[in-house]
Structure 1
């Protein structure tokens, strides 16, 4: 059976079940795309999500409540009808009015939290008093009323009070964090912070509160000091470096024909094609910058002076988000030089000058890949920063290139992770959850 959303159940029953089980009548109800604002007959106003599986939705769907609200003054027939689960399908007790989200949210600050209902928090006196009592009669203690006089032969045994002074004091239980709580705490840590959950003495609520306060302070400090996004700032720094080195900056389309990937040796029959985001039948989001650079080199050949030096910085997309070093959307830097002096020594010299400029430690190792064959990998500890190639290679003829060339590609997010020792690459990527490595889900 399909579960109806909360506004549908309210419209059908005209009733509301609060958290403490009190059954309320509904005077009016307004709904936006996500929320519902409900005004009770007793005057209380609450705001809740329009959910199919919330506690309130289950209570209304199953007709469960503790007792009716006294201030709402519900009629007996409405309560009986709700309890017997025989409400008529064609009856609409409450008109649910749809309002714009902006109008709905503007009044949100004036609405009390749904967990605080003044009508439901009245203390109840459950102690029953005698029906008749003379003025001279004094109330007897409850203990005296529970025992009757007994004969000596039936005297109860007197139990000696336990001497608690000899009992061992129970050791305080060790704080244990669930995996969800651990992930939340780790997301709130700054890049230079560490934590040991096995030695942590604070509770999750206390620890989260401390970290939230510090992260808010960090974000305010960033706003007052620099106001520069790390990823954008690094892109501008790299652009300035390569322009000063004599490279020409180019910008290629992000949406490219899938034919370009076939020229790169990544056809539909290849395993790597599963990492490509297809758009329609013939287009895709570029997973690399190489196709655009190939086209620019061919068009600039015999126009620009030898050697031709170009670079590009831009977003790329691959279906490989597993692990702490991969992203589905990432920013690439590719530089290449075509013509004279295209040797491995020149390539390693450019890479060395670039990483020294960024103050990042590295080492160069030999490797190979399906697209380019033999490559030169640039490593920072166990993380690959770049894959570099010394051409020519066989696929050059498919792009109309017939001269020697050298080139390398770097992931900007990995450069930031290496430079600032970030634990997770997502904290420095294009994100709405982080700003410069600081969590914004506060």
Structure 2
């Protein structure tokens, strides 16, 4: 015997993770277990609420601040770019039809809400490289991106990305990328690297925390570089802030750490 549909829905609302138990002998045993589990989940929700009120600074904000400070320590310059971008910028990324359908278009397709930070950072790299007299350019941005994709525990329509790029005299790019990944993620948590293939970027290195992808990393040069007049080696990291916060906080859904009326800092507000 297993939980009813209503019971499963209630447990998911409270942040239950994992597989629902289904080996109850009878209805009474199931219902007793359900009530005990609901009580534990409510207590956890209450403790998270008390933490938020007591600390004032949300956990997701701490993660974002720690990441920002870490990149400062590594010598990266923070930039800030528009959330509304022109079609011409996105066109230079040579995005697939699938991604184009996920874009929030504005003003008869001439502009859109940025679905990624990459075109903006490419643009900034070009300018920094032209002006700088140093052998390396290091820049990063933490900002909001938007995609029309099915919302899930790990995907949001409105989410926060951290993108960082280092370009110039960096030696072996794959070795430098490995070192940068360790410099960033080694400060926060245990992680695992796996090789992947991206339809946009080709060969990438994904960073997994507890088996969940939190970042996609790449070593240039890349064929897209010529669209931006970039002709130097580079390495880059793209990281989902809400997803990382969820994992570091033992949360059950990235939505709980994003922009929301129902959730604040992992707390479900409509449940007492």
Q: TM-score, normalised by structure 2?
A: 0.86
Equivalent residue in structure 1 for 2:88, among 252, 259, 274: 259
Note closer, same or farther for the CA distance 1:190–1:228 as it changes in structure 2 (3 Å cut). Answer: farther
2:235 corresponds to which residue? Answer: 406
Equivalent residue in structure 1 for 2:181, among 318, 343, 351: 351
Give the secondary-structure state (helix, strand or coil) at the position aligned to 1:335: strand
Q: CA deviation at 1:188?
A: 2.0
1:248 corresponds to which residue? Answer: 77
Q: CA deviation at 1:218?
A: 4.2
2:208 corresponds to which residue? Answer: 379
Please identify the structure whose Cα radius of gyration is greater: 1
Note closer, same or farther for the CA distance 1:273–1:227 as it changes in structure 2 (3 Å cut). Answer: same
2:50 corresponds to which residue? Answer: 220
2:191 corresponds to which residue? Answer: 362
Confirm or deny that 1:418 pairs with 2:247. yes
**Equivalences for 1:220-369 in 2 at 5 Å?**
220-224=50-54, 226-266=55-95, 270-281=97-108, 282-304=110-132, 305-341=134-170, 343-359=173-189, 361-369=190-198
Deviations 1:105-150 (Å, cap 9, x if unpaired)? Answer: xxxxxxxxxxxxxxxxxxxxxxxxxxxxxxxxxxxxxxxxxxxxxx
Note closer, same or farther for the CA distance 1:388–1:208 as it changes in structure 2 (3 Å cut). Answer: closer
| CA contact 1:307–1:338 (8 Å) conserved in 2 | yes
Note closer, same or farther for the CA distance 1:399–1:390 as it changes in structure 2 (3 Å cut). Answer: same
Give the secondary-structure state (helix, strand or coil) at the position aligned to 1:202: helix
Is the helix fraction higher in 1 or 2? 2
Q: CA deviation at 1:213?
A: 6.4
Q: CA deviation at 1:382?
A: 3.4
Task: Tell me the distance in 2 between the aligned counterparts of 1:433 and 1:210.
Answer: 20
Q: TM-score, normalised by structure 1?
A: 0.54
Task: Tell me the distance in 2 between the aligned counterparts of 1:327 and 1:374.
Answer: 24
Task: Tell me the distance in 2 between the aligned counterparts of 1:296 and 1:265.
Answer: 18
Q: Which has the higher contact order (CA 8 A, sep 6+)?
A: 2
Q: CA deviation at 1:297?
A: 0.8
**Stretch moving more, 246-255 or 300-309:** 300-309
Q: Runs of 5+ in structure 2 lacking a partner?
A: none
| CA contact 1:298–1:400 (8 Å) conserved in 2 | yes
Task: Tell me the distance in 1 between the aligned counterparts of 2:207 and 2:43.
Answer: 39
Equivalent residue in structure 1 for 2:9, among 176, 179, 183: 183
Give the secondary-structure state (helix, strand or coil) at the position aligned to 1:272: helix
1:22 corresponds to which residue? Answer: none
Q: Runs of 5+ in structure 1 lacking a partner?
A: 1-173
Task: Tell me the distance in 2 between the aligned counterparts of 1:315 and 1:416.
Answer: 15
Task: Tell me the distance in 2 between the aligned counterparts of 1:340 and 1:207.
Answer: 56
Task: Tell me the distance in 2 between the aligned counterparts of 1:217 and 1:386.
Answer: 29
Equivalent residue in structure 1 for 2:217, among 380, 388, 400: 388
Task: Tell me the distance in 1 between the aligned counterparts of 2:139 and 2:95.
Answer: 24
| CA contact 1:385–1:414 (8 Å) conserved in 2 | yes
Give the secondary-structure state (helix, strand or coil) at the position aligned to 2:232: coil
Q: CA deviation at 1:203?
A: 8.6
Give the secondary-structure state (helix, strand or coil) at the position aligned to 2:131: coil
Deviations 1:33-76 (Å, cap 9, x if unpaired)? Answer: xxxxxxxxxxxxxxxxxxxxxxxxxxxxxxxxxxxxxxxxxxxx
RMSD: 2.6
Note closer, same or farther for the CA distance 1:207–1:243 as it changes in structure 2 (3 Å cut). Answer: closer
Task: Tell me the distance in 2 between the aligned counterparts of 1:219 and 1:300.
Answer: 43
Q: CA deviation at 1:228?
A: 1.2
Task: Tell me the distance in 2 between the aligned counterparts of 1:210 and 1:373.
Answer: 45
How many matched pairs?
263
Task: Tell me the distance in 2 between the aligned counterparts of 1:182 and 1:409.
Answer: 34
